[in-house]
Structure formats: structure tokens, C-alpha cells
Structure 1
């Protein structure tokens, strides 16, 4: 049995949580797919600019929460739909499940396939487990600290690209950031001969970085439930991410930078030296 321990007498069973995260991601994703196919009947609310939620988000989050509470009643839970009731007390919890039931809700509601279920687990403040399930492709991206990253049973390796001309960079944007703070980055990327894609699901694009399908990913502000699972995936696939969890990133969000190890310094330089210390998985 793999455990993650601290000086405290109680160790954390990583393997059981890893197995459960994979199981939940698939089952919750299959339920979400059923609702996706009948999305015309769903009730929709608008939470803000380009921020919508449907009954599907809440139902899928409820499925995940139920599994977690039954299997690990002492673990904390932070879901996108319940984040408003979260507090800084989470920082005192040893194990926190961080969940986006449907990342890419706008895509989901508009009949596009770029959405997924994202489940990440923090253990003693460190990203330890990630599971991202894409119900439309049937692909399960998953990783646990020290065990490598996989899509289904195939091991993942981040891209070995050294320049932006060697592949496509994923980007994300929300109106929590002023456009004027982001557009110059795109101009510099294109000036380097690079190209970018934004598909509407940060969790899925970060998983693609782990798989080497994208050479990297940058978003000036993202929430933890959209990227925690992906951070584990990228690090376990040999890639690099910034220290997303600085300054209470779990609750407040932060920029996310992820790339293959060779390209990461170049990506940081392109972002013009933001305070994003690198950490190799």
C-alpha cells in the first residue's frame, strides 16, 4: 500500500483514493453524458459573464460528493458548485477533494464535445491525485504522485518541444482578467511563429499537455477545480507547472502555466517574467 505521510501518526492511503477517483470520474462522466444527450431539457442559470451552470453540474457534483463522503467521511470536499460555502478552514484539512463536475459547461450546453469531469486531490497541501474523464472520447487521464501519468493504460509523456513552432499551445481566458493584460501575450506567441487553441475546458487542455498533444498551457487566472487534476498529470508526465497553490490558490485561484520541461522556461519568458516559480513533477 502506498501512503503519503507527515510527522503525524496517521498516514494517508493514497492507493484507495486513487482507485476511487478513477471510478467516480468515469461513473459521474457517464451520467453527465446521458444529460448531455438530453441537454435541451436542462435548466440553466447564469452566474456571471460567460459563467453558466446547469442542473447537470449540480447533479454530477452530488454524485462525486456522495461517493467521497461514504468512502472517506473525514476528507474535505471543494466542488465548483459548492465553492461559495468554502472557507479558509480548508487549509487545515489533510485531504481535500477538488472537483469540477463539468469543466466546459458552456461547451456542454451548446452541444460541443470539449468538456470533462475533473477530480483532483490535495494531500497535506500538495497535489497528489488527478483524474480527468472525457466521456465523449471515453478517455480517462489519471495520475498519482510518484506513479506516473496515464490515459487509460498508456503511460503519458509531456512534449519535448523546445520552441513554439513545434506544436500548438493551449490557452484559456476569463473575464476575471482584463483583455489588455492577455492580448499582448498572444501577440508575442504569434510573433514567435507559435499557434494557440482554446477549446473551453482548461482541465482537458492541461491533460493534453500531459499527453504531449499540446506543448503547453497558459491561463492568467484559473480556479483550482479546473486545474488541480491536470497539475498532477503534467508533473507525473515529466512536465513542469508553476506553483499554483501560492497565496491560497486553492480558494482564490491563480495563473496556471504548464509545459514540457524543455519549453517551460521559454513559456515563462513569453509571459514576461510573472512570479511563477517552476516545480518539476
Structure 2
């Protein structure tokens, strides 16, 4: 099937069918992650150009996801974390493409912390149309389609309503910010909120904001595949995410990203505090 026909076919699909295929791929990959978790001698860990970790399991998970989705949508290309950067950059900016993070939370995976997931998004141009996160350790699936709400294991979810900084529960990963911003986060945010965490998977951290477990998260040094699915899930749950200047990047984007993701109510207060 030619790409034009494939794209036309997508428009005729029920949203539940797109989600069903993404979930099927994500579940298979998540099972692979769980089956390999704990056998660290077989991980074949290496360090990528951006100093992040990668394992044999990252590549196998990605290959599994891509193989499944190619069988369903053979002409839709991929932007994927472990794919060659030139191939990623070659995706047509006005067409459909999948965005894949085969193992979000690799560092947690490597050191034995059971907090990681698979992430799959379908985008068209700058817009994410569908997103799926599968967490194999807690048997949780976070899903959303554009305009259809956000769900955890099939149950609709929504963000918190907290607005006062003294009440907030935030996830904060700020160690790679410059010293001035690092100190502002410490003084203006961390010393004032109720509690902060660093959980170890950006996708799940944003999903936890969407599900009302956290009020927000501040993260730096991210990539598009960290936020493509999770960002849609958050927005469909009533939340908001932006770069630190309050803008949204135009997908597809291949530069590193620093983001704030919140329940929406506290968003601009946190941006100002930064």
C-alpha cells in the first residue's frame, strides 16, 4: 500500500483500532523488558554519544515494536530512540510517523529499579494523535487519543486541582541545569513544596501527573520520544506541558528538551519560579 493510501486509510480507522495495535506492540515489548529484567550479566550495556545508557534489550524491544507496527502500517515511518539519527531526521514533517521509546528508564532498568516502560505515539506533522505507555512492573497501561480523554487501564483519569505551592508533590530532575537555574529550583520550588521525588522514567513521571499522583514534573535533557506519547496523555487528562519559556516544540524535533509538565493550574507559577 502506498503511503498516500495508507494515510487515507488511517483517517477511516476507528481510534480504538489505532490504540489496539499500539497497545499490542507495547505489551509485547513490555513483556520482553520484564522477562529480561534482573539478568544484568546479559544486558551488554554501553554509553551513547549523549552519555545515556543503552542495552541489548533496548534494541530488541525496538525491533519487536517496529516489526509489529510495520505489519499493520507498512508505509508509516518511525522516529525511534535506537534508530540511526539520519533515518529519524528523514521523516516527512507533514506526514504520519510513529515515535518509539522502546525502554524509557534504561538507567533504572540497568541498576535493578523496577520503574521503566515502553512508549509509542502516532503523530501527523506537529501533532500527536495517539499515545500508549505500558509499565510491565505495575501492570499499568496509560493511553490517549487526541480529543478522546486519557485512561489508565481503561479508566478515565484526570490531573489534580492543587494550586498552592506548599501543597505540591513534584517530580524534579534538575542536576543537568546550569548552576543559576539549579539554585533557583532549590530555593524557589524544592524548599517550599510538600515533597519532591525523582522516579527515573520521564514517560511514567508525566503519566503520574496525568493520573493525579503528582502535581507536576520538571525535567531536563530529554528527547522527543520521551514526551510524544506522555505529553498527549497529560493534555488529554487536563494537564499542560511546555518548554521552560512556555512554548511547545514543533514535532518532529531532535534537539534536547527541558520541560515542565503540570496539572495546568500551577504551570505558570512554576515557570516563573524557574
- State the Cα deviation string for residues 234-254 of structure 1 (Å, max 9, x = none): 1110111224423x6622232
1:197 paired residue number: 197
Q: CA RMSD in A?
A: 2.2
Q: Within 5 Å, which residues of 2 pair with 1:40-119?
A: 40-48=41-49, 50-119=51-120
Shift of 1:16: 2.6
Separation of aligned partners in 2, 1:83 and 1:127: 22
- State the Cα deviation string for residues 165-222 of structure 1 (Å, max 9, x = none): 22311123474x4454334223210243343211111111000010010101122331
Shift of 1:23: 1.4
1:250 aligns with 2:253: yes
Q: Within 5 Å, which residues of 2 pair with 1:1-281?
A: 12=11, 13=13, 14-48=15-49, 50-173=51-174, 175=176, 177-242=177-242, 243-246=247-250, 250-271=253-274
Does the 8 Å contact 2:170/2:195 carry over to 1? yes
* CA 264–55 in structure 1, closer or farther in 2 if over 3 Å, else same: same
Separation of aligned partners in 2, 1:199 and 1:237: 20
Q: Which runs of 4+ in 1 moved over 6 A?
A: none
Separation of aligned partners in 2, 1:86 and 1:173: 30
Separation of aligned partners in 1, 2:142 and 2:95: 24
Number of residue equivalences: 262
* CA 234–154 in structure 1, closer or farther in 2 if over 3 Å, else same: same
* CA 200–57 in structure 1, closer or farther in 2 if over 3 Å, else same: same
Does the 8 Å contact 2:93/2:252 carry over to 1? no
Does the 8 Å contact 2:81/2:101 carry over to 1? yes
Does the 8 Å contact 1:91/1:125 carry over to 2? no
**TM-score normalised according to structure 2 size:** 0.87
